[in-house]
Amino acid sequence: MSWEVSPKAKCAVNELSPRKYPRSPITSPRKLPQNSLPPPKTPPQWKKPDDVMKSHRLRIKRNALAARMKTNNLFNRIDNHNNSLEKPGTKRHNPFKSAASEECEVPSKKVKEVLAESENDATLFRLLGLNNSQQSTNVLLQFTSILEDQPQVTNKEFDASKLLSTLPIDWTLRHKMRFISSTPLPWNKTLKTCEEASGVTGFVRCVENERNNCNGLDTSPNVEFHQCCFYWQHPNLPWLQLYPRTHLRRTETNKLPFITCYPAIKESLHRDWSESFRSLFQLVRARHCPYFYLVTNSFNCLFRAAGINGCSETNAFISPTTRGFRKLLTDEGVEFTMPLRIKQKRSSHDPSENDTEELVDDESEDVEAGEAKDWLASLGVGADEIKKISDTEASIEFNVEKKMDGNYESLIYVEGSDINAFFNFLINCRTITVTTGPLAGVPPTLLSPVAFHGGTLKSLKVRDSTVKLENENYFSLEINGPILPHAIHNLCNVLKSNVDKFSITFASIESSKAFSLASKQSFGENQNSELDVNKTPGKTFNIENLSDCGLKTQLLSSFCSLGVQNFDSVKYAENAYVCS
């Protein structure tokens, strides 16, 4: 039986099967114009000659630069000698030169490594402020050698003038401190219920937790350390970093919402802040608060009660300041002095006089300037020339004040009756609240050692760790947060009663160092000795008036003395402090 395929089936099979020959012009589809076709793509495994030559030339230049940096004159002479065999006209190698001299000229790889390491060691010693004259160049620098070279706190190695029985006061604001000791520090991460309760109660009620007192509170070292880590703050916005305000990351500016977008929230924050600021100021005036800080994005302010550091009146330090800020204070009638300002010697002004007389000098200068203008006019000098002279003098004075802006010299000091005018200026000045950035619309941060209206009880962040070096364990405690001056003294008192030897390093806000410099300048340079501390005028009277300020009796005695000093590190051993 034969099968026959119909003509329609043959056509269908021919359509499905691939064609060996192209279609005829009649049946082929219409060709697209040449411009509409996509450009041919170069396969990824292919490289263009221009790219290959460009990378080749770049490689040659890079190798040549590396060769120039690594080789010295000795190696250049060796290269010239090797190339002299091929290039005519070059200097021939000396055949009578001894091999020993060649070995001295061409250093080996090991010697080159030692020389490079010695250069790195010298650089590191310069950064650490150490002397490397006695260090050998063929000995690698080790961490243990640095520790051994550091001076130890002993009475034999230090002068008697550097040893202090009590820690001086430093009004610098800190945001980090670290304790290091070879013995375990009195701190436990896990607090018991009674320990946490006793620490909070002792701090809030300003109870002196002495071990011989029967006040019902736990007096263990862990509780004492926990009690030293508390402080009061306003405002309290957990999602914002309110201290320090100058260390905000740039990445945080895009993540945090601006409070200025909500006027009701902005007004509410400012209203509560005004009440808290007024409460703290009244506590300082009544001597129920020894001091407090006001921290803004552009300046820091320290308010102190009468009797602190021997001052007879309530006073305030502001640092740093600008010419515009000082002009605003002058326009508001707030009189101030600049204790750290470098005075220019004049024939009519005695350099030994205090800064309080600078305001009087300024008034006399204005009178003299007016008389000088009248005298020039009487000589026939034109008004345009007189104006040019005045503008030149004003420009010189502006440049002098501009150099001071943002430095220690720009610190201003307000005391007495002017402190009330200064308080009214701050509470009504909206410019101290920034309008841009993540803290836009957020009022300044208030930090206090005692409770006040609207204050929030906060605690410093403590992190302990152990460092093992040459089979010896070193215990470390790192504390982060607003570290106030009284907290440093309380922590040192707790540690020295449990540890024989320890050292402290601080991370400070640089602009706030001017507070201690100004306090030291007010009472003279030699106020750190025990003689000056004991003979502070009216010290007993000031301690009696500040008995309810919230500081312990022993600590209050130090704050009422004249012992003020800037320090970035503290070492304690054998019942003596060394500050540097």
Question: What would the 3-class secondary structure string for 221-243 be?
Answer: HHHHHHHCCEEEEECCCCCCCCC
pLDDT at 536: 61
How far is 79 from 85, CA to CA, in rounded Å? 11
Choose among 54, 455, 81: nearest CA to 278.
455
Tell me which amino acid residue 464 is: D
How far is 175 from 411, CA to CA, in rounded Å? 21
Choose among 414, 450, 229, 208: nearest CA to 329.
414
Residue 13 backbone dihedrals phi, psi, to 5 degrees: -65, -40
In this structure, are residues 480 and 501 in contact, taking their beta carbons and an 8 Å threshold?
Answer: no
Could you tell me how far CA 533 lies from the centroid of its own chain?
31
pLDDT at 561: 87
Which 3 state secondary structure label does DSSP give 431?
A: helix
- Is the bond into 443 cis (omega within 30 degrees of 0)? no
Instruction: State the helix-helix crossing angle for 418-428 and 323-331, rounded to 10 degrees.
Output: 110
Do β-strands 412-415 and 315-319 pair in parallel, antiparallel, or remain unpaired? antiparallel
* Enclosing H/E stretch for 372: helix 358-378
How far is 122 from 130, CA to CA, in rounded Å? 9
pLDDT at 540: 84
pLDDT at 396: 64
Can you name the residues that pair with 233 across neighbouring β-strands?
Answer: 447, 456
Residue written as token pair 């010295």: 72
pLDDT at 234: 97
Residue 228 backbone dihedrals phi, psi, to 5 degrees: -75, -10
Sign of CA dihedral 404, 405, 411, 414: positive
pLDDT at 315: 96
pLDDT at 537: 63
Copy the structure tokens of residue 194. Answer: 């009674």
Torsion angle of C-alpha atoms 140, 145, 151, 154, degrees rounded to 10: -160
Distances (CA, A) of 369 to 83, 387, 416, 556: 79, 12, 31, 49
Please tell me what DSSP assigns to residue 164.
B
How far is 269 from 556, CA to CA, in rounded Å? 34
Classify residue 299 by burial, with Cβ atoms within 10 Å: 0-12, 13-18, 19+: buried
Do β-strands 461-469 and 472-483 pair in parallel, antiparallel, or remain unpaired? antiparallel
pLDDT at 393: 65
- Return the biggest CA–CA distance within the chain: 144
pLDDT at 313: 94
SS3 content of the chain, % helix, strand, coil (to 5): 45, 15, 45
Can you name the residues that pair with 346 across neighbouring β-strands?
Answer: 349
How far is 491 from 179, CA to CA, in rounded Å? 10
Classify residue 180 by burial, with Cβ atoms within 10 Å: 0-12, 13-18, 19+: middle
pLDDT at 135: 40
In this structure, are residues 459 and 260 in contact, taking their beta carbons and an 8 Å threshold?
Answer: no
Choose among 509, 508, 168: nearest CA to 309.
168
Choose among 498, 460, 461: nearest CA to 203.
460
In this structure, are residues 177 and 479 in contact, taking their beta carbons and an 8 Å threshold?
Answer: yes
Classify residue 316 by burial, with Cβ atoms within 10 Å: 0-12, 13-18, 19+: buried
Who contacts 422 (Cβ-Cβ below 8 Å, separation ≥6)? 316, 329, 334, 336, 414
Copy the structure tokens of residue 522. Answer: 């007010």
Tell me which amino acid residue 304 is: R
Residues in the chain: 580
Q: In a structure prediction context, what are the per-residue pLDDT tens digits for the chain, which is 580 residues long?
A: 445 555 555 555 455 454 444 554 444 455 545 555 566 666 666 777 888 888 888 888 888 777 766 654 444 554 454 454 444 444 555 555 554 444 444 444 444 444 444 454 454 445 444 444 444 333 333 333 334 434 444 444 445 557 888 899 999 999 999 999 988 888 877 888 999 999 999 999 988 876 656 577 888 889 999 999 999 999 999 988 899 987 554 545 455 567 777 889 999 999 999 999 999 999 999 999 999 999 999 999 999 999 999 899 999 999 999 988 999 999 999 999 999 987 654 433 343 344 433 433 544 455 456 666 666 667 666 677 766 666 666 666 666 676 778 889 999 999 999 999 999 999 999 889 988 888 889 999 999 999 999 999 999 999 998 888 778 888 999 999 999 999 999 999 999 988 889 999 999 999 999 999 998 876 544 444 443 444 566 788 889 999 999 998 889 999 998 889 999 999 999 889 999 8
C-alpha angle 16/17/21, rounded to 5°? 125
Residue written as token pair 């005692």: 450
Who contacts 208 (Cβ-Cβ below 8 Å, separation ≥6)? 552, 553
Residue written as token pair 């201690």: 516
Residue 447 backbone dihedrals phi, psi, to 5 degrees: -125, 130
